[in-house]
Amino acid sequence: MTARTWLRPAWLLSRRVGIVLLWILVAAGIFVVVSVAGIHVIGSVDGWEHWLRAHATHFLVWRLLLYGATAYGWWWMRGRLRQREPSGEAHQRLLRVEIAAVITIVLLEGSQLLRHA
């Protein structure tokens, strides 16, 4: 995209952007509903926070399973992409995305670890 394309609001109104924004809103709504329901069931915000801390290991296992499933899907997609685009440039792009993803996951999990330490 050129700088001029970013200045036009037409890309904001595209179908793809609308679908992504809708999914983000749905996910945020689900998170809010689960948190409010958890607070209501537990009885207080402090109780909810205590419950979350007590079950942090379960959430870590859940995140690790999600990371594993995502890595498997990425490996499958990567193979297909490498067959379709065998150039060195495509390989470099994939490598940059993979490095960025691993750094992001390490930083996120590190921040969780530091918060609970």
Of the candidates 94, 98, 73, the one whose C-alpha atom is nearest the C-alpha of residue 82 is 94
CA–CA dist 8, 6 (Å, integer): 5
pLDDT single digits (tens) 30-80: 999 999 998 999 889 999 889 888 998 898 899 999 999 999 999 998 888
**Rounded distance between C-alpha atoms, residue 46 and residue 67, angstroms:** 29
The domain total for the chain is 2
What band does 107 get if pLDDT is binned at 50, 70 and 90? very high
Is pTM beyond 0.75 here?
Answer: no
The 8-class DSSP code of residue 8 comes to S
Are residue 74 and residue 20 in the same domain, yes or no?
A: no
**Are 10 and 38 within one domain?**
yes
**Residue 14 · residue 1 · CB < 8 Å:** no
The pLDDT of residue 5 is above 70: no
Task: Note whether 111 and 71 are same-domain residues.
Answer: yes
Residues 23, 61 within the same domain: no
Average pLDDT over the chain, rounded to an integer = 86
Domain that holds residue 27: 1-43
Is residue 49 assigned to a domain?
Answer: no
